[in-house]
Amino acid sequence: AMDHDRNKTLLLELQRAAGTGNDRCADCGRPDPAWASYKLGIFICLHCSGIHRNLPAITRVKSLRLDFWENDLIEFMKSHGNLCAKAKYEAKVPPYYYIPQSSDSLVLREQWIRAKYEREEFVATRVCQDPCTAGSREGLLWKLGPGRKQFHKRHFLLSAREGLMKYYGKDSRGPKAVISVESLNAMFQELKIGHAHGLQITYNTDGQTRNLFVYHESGK
């Protein structure tokens, strides 16, 4: 019991220690994280710990206050920490990549956590590049039709080189819309669209604001 109390005190001191970055969740920045991943050596909030729990092959979590911490785990946490993990797992985050905050939706935070630790997309030594961050990306998305009753599968193309997003109608003779990536705004709209991976894309054309409502089966 003495070890248990001593380790709990050490952990809480470590969470508040200056220069470690441990006083905010390593994944969403929420202050005063009450959980930690003892496999990655990071301090995280309750919400993000739930996402880590679904990835047992790469991360294991314990509560700082409620769980028993062995001496060797305390040493591991001491030699790691949030800034240390950031230097490794966020070394190559592209400048345009949106890093989710604590107020963002679960799908955004989960994909960020998976990209960092499961797919290791931003590790400095990474050789293969994720197609999302490469030059272009294309595929089918479910798009809400004009009457806002039904979703139809439509072909979308995103070209980083041209800085454009295009989408095609069912008779794909040419793109139905060509949208400058600079001018579009995309927001997760789970409730409005009725799907966890629902996205509202807003853009201007001929002086009018238009909305596209789309979703994909996968959150990636």
CATH of residue 169's domain is 2.30.29.30
What is the number of structural domains in the chain?
Answer: 2
Tell me whether residue 126 is in a domain: no
42-44 β-sheet, strand order: 42-44, 35-37, 61-63
Q: What is the average pLDDT score of the chain?
A: 85
- The verdict on pTM exceeding 0.75 is no
Same domain? For 79 and 173 the reply is: no
Closest CA to 77 of 35, 48, 113: 35
Q: Which two tokens stand for residue 8?
A: 């709990």
Residue 137 in this model has a pLDDT that exceeds 50: yes
Tell me whether residue 181 is in a domain: yes
Q: 51-104 pLDDT, tens per residue?
A: 999 999 999 999 999 999 999 999 999 999 999 999 999 988 887 788 999 999
Last residue of a domain, one of 91, 118, 145: 118
Please state, in angstroms and rounded to a whole number, the distance separating the CA atoms of residues 203 and 161.
19
Q: 55: Cβ–Cβ under 8 A, 6 or more apart, which residues?
A: 113, 114, 117, 118
Tell me whether residue 130 is in a domain: no
* Residue 19: how many other CB atoms lie within 10 Å: 7
Do 44 and 25 meet the contact criterion of CB atoms below 8 Å apart?
yes
Same domain? For 56 and 9 the reply is: yes
Provide the 3-class DSSP secondary structure of residue 14.
helix
Same domain? For 19 and 100 the reply is: yes
What is the domain range of residue 55?
2-118
